[in-house]
Chains A and B, each alone.
Chain A
Amino acid sequence: MQLEILKTYKLYIGGAFPRTESGRFYKLENNKKEVIANMCLSSRKDFRNAVVAARKAVEGWSGRAAFNRGQILYRIAEMLEGRKMQFIEELILQGATKANAEKEVRQAIDRCVYYSGWCDKYQPLFGSINPVATSHFNFSVPEPTGVVSVLADENSSLLGLVSVIMPIIVGGNTCVVLASETKPLCSITFAEVLATSDLPGGVVNILTGNSKELHTHFASHMDVNAVVYCRENVEEAKAIAELSSLNVKRSFFWQKDWTKTEHENPYLIMDLQEIKTTWHPIENIGVSGAKY
């Protein structure tokens, strides 16, 4: 009999897997109250470090060709597919039935493929050429908002996580995500998927820990451009909305049943996009009656 090697779950920051700087942990138990894992209890300093990594990654990620981002997102789906069994096991460990676990993983893979295809397609649908009345060429394009902090769905270990990360990074944003506290296993395994799928370090950063402790920091950090809250706690939501006003942070409340395909759509991508409009003169011969 060979002894099983247990997995150490750490954080995912800037493409590396550090332990929490605080040294704290919390016990993750199954419904029989057996300890499954010791999870990192992230601190606000971990969050701060993750934001630094995410900010650093914005320029490179948003500067990638849209087609290249699409390939990388597709690569995530490939990696996820390859480690399907591991996710199913983790979901079962966290209390899911086998059937539901398989379904969730399948949906998560599909979601990655779905958003991969959007990388080079939302721009023409949501950008515009504007026929201004003066002699100018004028066009509007979506651009990433920047660094997004995310408090992911508490009840959906993998699908809830993937369903929010994907529309955010499709458009060139980077993010710092707090995983489900009670179902965190898939998040760190998903981080391993990300780390092996050509996604540059820092584009997605994943923390495990406690929303009550961290949500105010997710909303108040002045170098975060947007916050997405996917949980049901009304007080936390209100605090996030209030604190967002400190730097006119964009705040979104995505409380959705992620198993429904209606919640995969480009409007979520567009929530984390800014519209930039550019003007340039056109030599329009004859405008002022002058012809030459």
Chain B
Amino acid sequence: MNKSWISPTIDQVGVEERVTRFNTRSVKKESKMQGMLLALNMIDLTTLEGKDTAGKVKQMCYKAMHLADDIEGLPTVAAVCVYPNHVKTAKKALQGSNVKIASVATAFPSGNSSRKIKLEDVKIAVTNGADEVDMVISRGEFLAGNYNFVFDEIAAIKEACGPARLKVILETGELSTLDNVRKASDIAIYAGADFIKTSTGKIQPAATMPVTLVMLQAIKDYYDESGIMIGMKPAGGISTSKQALQYLVMLYETLGEKWMTNEWFRFGASSLANDILLQLGKEKYGVYYSGDYISKD
């Protein structure tokens, strides 16, 4: 199946200009406070390292539930994101909370493996208790023009996910053009993705606003056509509360209020939470705050 005929072309400079406009929005006072709380609540707190251990995962899970207990009214993050072999640990650590468990799978991050192994990878994650599966597409096949392969692979993995929600990572940093980002978004959406996600975090650049905007517009077009909502997850490179607010402005003005919950929008990030906490600390204590007062788990 060749989707190129249906995906609209993208003008990169036009996308960047639109992004610049989002970034001139000035979010102040109560809107800013609410935006920051919402952003916290949208975070997929992530550790995806070769050196991940049970200890590290447990510490992160505690942080996910207790962002800063000295500040009242904070939400938890949306989910933690780990490798499949750490899902069980996380499941146990998060017991009793509403924090979801997302697991990367499908030979993350390169995706270079056989279909059989990828499906097995997904099944392990789901069996171990993952609520959400973050898969990677086969970028090599995509760039070689084998769109059918990419589509079928996503569809097969969606089936393997069962009740777990499927996030499809496009790894936009390897796709080279915004036209490809749009094309890959459409393939993923039509093949059954519940979420589309920019990046693994292992390739630079990771999430950017132009890339995210193009993906949001693909979601919008699909929604207009089918009435079905798809979620969006920019991942990697979003580390400040200011950036997070800019993404929320973009989300709001592109997809609207309906998407302004962690059911439909996530930030894949490891250090964003603490930067937001730094700002909230300033609001609470009235002085510019220090990282020494915020836990680093």
Contacts and interface: CB of A to CB of B under 8 A. Distances in A.
* A–B touching in complex (CB under 8 Å): yes
Interface stretch (B109-117, B119-127, B143-151, B203-211): B203-211
A216 to B, nearest CB: 50
Given A292-B172, A292-B177, A292-B181, A287 B13 contact: yes
A284 B16 CA distance: 10
B209 A292 contact: no
Contact of B13 (A135, A289, A292): A135
Nearest to B174: A292
Interface of B: 11-14, 16, 19-20, 172-173, 175-178, 181, 204-205, 208-211
Contacts of A290: 16, 19, 205, 208-211
A288 B172 CA distance: 16
Given A288-B20, A292-B177, A292-B205, A281 B11 contact: yes
A281 to B, nearest CB: 3
Contacts of A281: 11-14
Contacts of B11: 281
A84 B181 CA distance: 69
Contact of A292 (B14, B19, B173): B173
A287 B23 CA distance: 14
23 contacts: A134-B13, A135-B13, A136-B13, A281-B13, A281-B14, A283-B12, A283-B13, A284-B13, A287-B13, A287-B16, A288-B20, A288-B210, A290-B19, A290-B205, A290-B211, A291-B208, A292-B172, A292-B176, A292-B178, A292-B181, A292-B205, A292-B210, A292-B211
Contacts of A289: 208
A136 B16 CA distance: 12
Given A135-B16, A287-B13, A291-B205, 8 more contacts: A281-B12, A283-B12, A283-B13, A284-B13, A289-B208, A290-B211, A291-B204, A292-B208
B20 to A, nearest CB: 7
Interface residues of A, number: 13
Contacts of A284: 13
A32 to B, nearest CB: 75
Interface string A272-290: 0000000001111001111
Most buried by B among A287, A289, A292: A292
Interface in A134-148: 134-136
A292 B20 contact: no
Contacts of A282: 13
A283 B12 CA distance: 6
